[in-house]
Chain A
């Protein structure tokens, strides 16, 4: 089955700086890659996603890049704000199944 690895496990940045979280996957059949944000005690919520026929997608301060050849994808958050502090999960999907990374705890210091 698919194996998704996520790094780093924790990330601390100063408000206004950029944050980058990286994920790798093992199954070349995976074709959909969402990112979820989970605040403490809350449910995960989708923040951005990308499909395998696209290399990059942006939504305001958030962007995701995908390198199919290397089987890795990354989340980029620019101009970070304290409200960006949360746990972020990447995931890879193929044949109706989702495989999640272990999560990155982002702390944005004011």
Chain B
């Protein structure tokens, strides 16, 4: 099993550009989530999904969109990048549908917005 994979590992964007961060898991997990990690602020939940076709907002959803068309994939879209979105982004998945079990994190994407 590859576990949770994320692409790209690093990305530099200019203000106003759009991009999609990819996340995939091969463990047949129903629950998937996206976090951003900023220095001194821990992990903050952006969006999450409890199954294909179901998504919901987390703590900091503004400026981000998600979709979940398959169990395996959960892409995160930045519609118009802003410097405030410079961060490390982690995708995670869990075998517990509510997420209240071990979350397996991907390796992260380091995004810089100039």
Contact = CB atoms under 8 A, between A and B. Distances in A.
Interface of A: 1, 6, 9, 31-32, 34, 43-46, 49, 51, 89, 91, 93, 96-103
Nearest to A49: B102
Given A93-B99, A96-B31, A98-B99, A43 B106 contact: yes
Contacts of A1: 59
B100 A100 contact: no
B41 A96 contact: no
The range of chain B's interface size is 20 to 34
A91 B44 CA distance: 10
A31 B43 CA distance: 19
Given A96-B50, A97-B58, A89 B106 contact: no
Given A91-B43, A93-B99, A98-B103, 11 more contacts: A31-B100, A43-B105, A46-B103, A49-B101, A97-B48, A97-B59, A98-B33, A98-B99, A99-B45, A102-B41, A103-B40
- Counting from the closest, the 8 A-B pairs by CB-CB distance are A100-B42, A43-B105, A32-B100, A100-B43, A46-B102, A102-B42, A103-B42, A44-B105
Contacts of B58: 97
Interface string B53-66: 00010110000000
B74 interface: no
B42 A89 contact: yes
B87 to A, nearest CB: 14
Contacts of A31: 100
B30 to A, nearest CB: 11
